[in-house]
Amino acid sequence: MPRRLPVIQSSPDEGEPRPPSHWVAIAAALALALWAPLVLLALPLGRAIAARVAGVDDVSQLATAATTSPALRAAVAAALIVPVLASLALAAGATGAIVGRFGGRAGAREAVLGCTLAALVAWGMSVSGGALRPWPVAAVTALLLGALAAVFAGLGARIGRRRRPQF
């Protein structure tokens, strides 16, 4: 007959719950961690869609094809941008849902602040690399990324809060 050890009942000491301000940093790190692989998938997808819209077989011919008409240029730009924005929306929504569900006293405000911070950090890295020139393009990009991250983080946090267990 196997010998069994007695089970000692002890409650785990969880300590104090995290203050809501900690969840801003957690949300920013989580949003960047989720967005990085999604954007790596979105970039080639955008190039493939843009090549199909422009009617070229090779992506290297995309720049010359986009200069033929302003309408085609706008369509190619949209095809390149929309998958990246969709990946940000997905990452921000998932981050908001996680913060809303597991954040304790933290909620939509902390999720929105964290995801906006993550979007602005990614924007800052792009600007420092010289990707967003001239400055009006950089300014509009910052506003667009920040607003998109804030909206979807808020929506995700509301969904996550509804999924909290009721005691």
Summarize pLDDT for 27-82 with one digit per residue, the tens. 999 999 999 999 999 999 999 999 999 999 888 888 888 888 999 999 999 999 99
In a domain, 122, yes or no: yes
Asked whether the predicted pLDDT for residue 8 surpasses 80, the reply is no
Residue 116 within a domain: yes
Question: How confident is residue 10, by pLDDT bands cut at 50, 70 and 90?
Answer: low
pLDDT tens profile 93-139: 999 999 999 998 899 999 999 999 999 999 999 999 998 889 999 99
For the chain, the domain total comes to: 1
Beta-carbon contacts of 102 under 8 Å, excluding residues fewer than 6 positions away, are 160
Residue 88 has pLDDT above 90, yes or no: yes
The reply to whether 6 falls in a domain is: no
Whether 13 has a pLDDT exceeding 60, the answer reads no
In a domain, 8, yes or no: no
Whether residue 4 is contained in a domain is answered as: no
Tell me whether residue 2 is in a domain. Answer: no
Containing structural domain, residue 28: 22-162
What is Dmax (Cα atoms) for the chain? 84
pLDDT at 167 over 80: no
- How high is the pLDDT of residue 62? 86
What does the alpha-carbon distance between residue 39 and residue 87 come to, in Å, rounded to a whole number?
Answer: 6
Answer whether residue 78 is part of any domain: yes
User: Is position 1 within any domain?
Assistant: no
Higher pLDDT, 20 or 156: 156
Radius of gyration, alpha carbons of the chain? 22
User: Percent of the chain at pLDDT above 90?
Assistant: 73
The answer to whether 101 and 158 have CB atoms below 8 angstroms apart is no
